[in-house]
Structure 1
């Protein structure tokens, strides 16, 4: 594996995989906890370090706004690293939060992954979602009704585009929560999130995880022989 964090389930496997994509804070302890939670539920979880040596932060954000560039090569590479493992079934999903949610949306629309979990992905600047959904995989998505960064009309346009493309979709808006409601940051990051009006919501987070794991369980299970 290249730079990043890998969580491996107990047992011999093989296991389906999930590429976990960071928010703007990078490869944090919170993201590692996400990987560990996926592993506890039977998934090989790999969070690639998108800010790794040789790739500057500016380049990653350029990829975020243009929906193309080396960051997507790194995401594809992370998938390939999982499928090359003998303990992987070969079926791999992608999950992202905020910035990573946008990356998951785009990567999940290119026929590369078997399922995508898009969590309050930044949707700004997308005029036609169909342009990013050439071959969309099944999508489970979660957004906050009080999210100041992701307008609800854009969320509905995303849902409608997936439905028009015929992709299985479970998209839910939690009316009373803000951006980043899955993340439970502490310390300086936690203080920043609180001041910015982005707070962890245990109830919505638990419901979101329940939906994600059920959706992944359906769409990342090995194909019937």
Structure 2
């Protein structure tokens, strides 16, 4: 993977981790996917997600969303444990919504500058960020949200007009599932909502709640909605 440094409209710099397609799609990618990380930063898992999208013919970029709270473009990768989660929550709380939207806007412009349509795909915190970004920014072809914790609140505020796929888990202890599903039905009935017999983080392939069968189904649906709308 390569790293690029992008700048928001307010002059703040951040790093994006980029995976590019090889082989038949190297010269003409199918599109650009902005991969929005979980609370812990651009982990090895998130890099593998980017590489998987690249293997399917997409340019993938994962911005370091914790960069602004730390004042360093590279952000940080936190340990996936209680201490890391507590620190992640502190950093997320210190991150302004306007800065995150500015970061997404810069990523979208970066993809569009390569004459590519752009989709947002996020996990955990990134799942909420993807939905928020698609609701407030232009030039988003598709939005995919994996177990975003703020969906009920966000969908009551605004909804994406692009194709939207939501992945939720029945055993998720971090998200009030019924509240999220009911809010999406009420405010965003066009969204495709998939609920699985799984736990939060079912897609993270190095986590204790990883469910390979569910992750495979979700991946297939994710690639389908992105491909159909690019």
Q: CA deviation at 1:153?
A: 1.7
Cα distance change on mapping 1:100 and 1:180 into 2, 3 Å: same
Distance 2:110 2:151 in 1: 30
Q: Secondary structure at the match of 2:168?
A: strand
Number of residue pairs matched?
A: 196
Structure 2 residues not aligned, in runs of 5+: 6-14, 76-87
Cα distance change on mapping 1:142 and 1:124 into 2, 3 Å: closer
Structure 1 residue 107 corresponds to structure 2 residue 139: no
Cα distance change on mapping 1:177 and 1:14 into 2, 3 Å: closer
Question: What residue is the counterpart of 1:30 in the other structure?
Answer: 45
Structure 1 residues not aligned, in runs of 5+: 221-225
User: TM-score, length-normalised on structure 2?
Assistant: 0.78
CA contact (8 A) 2:34 2:62 kept: yes
Question: What residue is the counterpart of 2:103 in the other structure?
Answer: 74
Distance 1:27 1:120 in 2: 17
Given candidates 80, 89, 95, the residue that maps to 2:121 is 95
Distance 1:78 1:4 in 2: 8
CA contact (8 A) 1:146 1:178 kept: yes
Q: CA deviation at 1:8?
A: 0.6
Given candidates 131, 139, 147, the residue that maps to 1:120 is 147
Q: CA deviation at 1:92?
A: 0.2
Q: Secondary structure at the match of 2:188?
A: helix
User: TM-score, length-normalised on structure 1?
Assistant: 0.80
CA contact (8 A) 1:111 1:137 kept: no
CA contact (8 A) 1:20 1:45 kept: yes
For residues 113-192 of structure 1, the aligned pairs below 5 Å read 113-123=140-150, 126=153, 129-133=155-159, 135-160=160-185, 161-163=187-189, 167=190, 169-174=191-196, 176-185=197-206, 190=207
Distance 1:144 1:162 in 2: 19
Q: CA deviation at 1:158?
A: 3.9
Question: What residue is the counterpart of 2:21 in the other structure?
Answer: 9
Distance 1:82 1:107 in 2: 15
Q: CA deviation at 1:123?
A: 2.2
Q: Which runs of 4+ in 1 moved over 6 A?
A: none
| Most deviating of 109-118 and 205-214 | 109-118
